[in-house]
Structure 1
Amino acid sequence: MVSKSDQLLIVVSILEGRHFPKRPKHMLVVEAKFDGEQLATDPVDHTDQPEFATELAWEIDRKALHQHRLQRTPIKLQCFALDPVTSAKETIGYIVLDLRTAQETKQAPKWYQLLSNKYTKFKSEIQISIALETDTKPPVDSFKAKGAPPRDGKEISSKRCHVLPIASYQAQQDVPSSSCAYSVSALDSAISLRSPASFQ
């Protein structure tokens, strides 16, 4: 049985963007994928400085974290432009985070430039921080999304998803690649976030 001190959260804070073109008829969404588990921000206005203000967090134990670091499992973030009328998603670019840079001490957020940016005339960037936090929440029987308290005076949304240890994950080959019991839309309905729109 995993002790409380061994339970951690990989927390990716997606704060804001800059150098984006203005597209009033579109919204921006960032999806983050780690070891087959995908979470996403709520859609935000497609301005030149979009405000995401969202935390995405995965539960993990130290043993599994060690294995992921050895295997250099990436956390991939993809940015999409969403047409709210047709629900069409347009890939804008992506960012790859190195899990080995996540520490249990607070670190200042950094600006990451979008790779393969569709907006070739813009050097679009997103401010992101990645950290490890001790999971002080009591264990639950099912996967759950929870709200996070405001930090530094800003409203922060939070979505959390459990990540199975490597051994358990490999033993369940018949389970779909995303073992999270919530889809993105279900996560959005589970908590009240700052944006009124929901994302499929």
Structure 2
Amino acid sequence: MPSYTLYYFNGRGRAEVIRMIFGVAGVQFTDKRYEFSEWEKYRKEMPSHCMPVLEIDGKTRMPETMAICRYLSREFGFYGKTNMEMFRIDYISDCLYEIMHDYMRYFHEKNGRFGYMSSNMASNTKGNMTSNAKSGTSVSATSSTSSSMKSNMSSNQNSNSMSSDMKTNMSSNPNSHMGSAMSSTSLESSNRSNGNVKKT
């Protein structure tokens, strides 16, 4: 069995579903977590300069949440036996990931780096308008960025009903092994109590 190290921030986020797959499989892995304040120091060490990243046998590092999930699901026998089962697992997983992606954008926009980025963008726009006004040029501020953010936030309000449909679909489908892995919500604590996770 290969040795696995999962790199992510000190939180659930996009890596939690990967931890759940390890938990369902009963496979040990090292859960390497970084604080946000440490990220700039380690960013260049990660493929694509992003996380989560899965390291295999201390050599190969691969990024992207769903690519990691599919790889581990194939390794652990959770990816279905027929092409149609795999198709069903893919569509359920991708729908849920899109919901999570919108939630993560909404969360960061309010509390994290997207909020920081949007405030910087507003400040830069204001600065550009001021400098252009001084030079006698009339500039109208563009609102497309803020409109798309508002649209993203409002679409999240409708995601609860889609999420419940997905849960119903997963629980009613005995062939969807990935679905059963993703529906467990308390695996992180049970993993640690069973000794599956070495947190660093």
TM over 0.5: no
Find the structure with the greater CA-based Rg.
2
Higher strand share: 1
Higher helix share: 2
| Larger RCO: 1 or 2 (CA < 8 Å, sep 6+) | 2
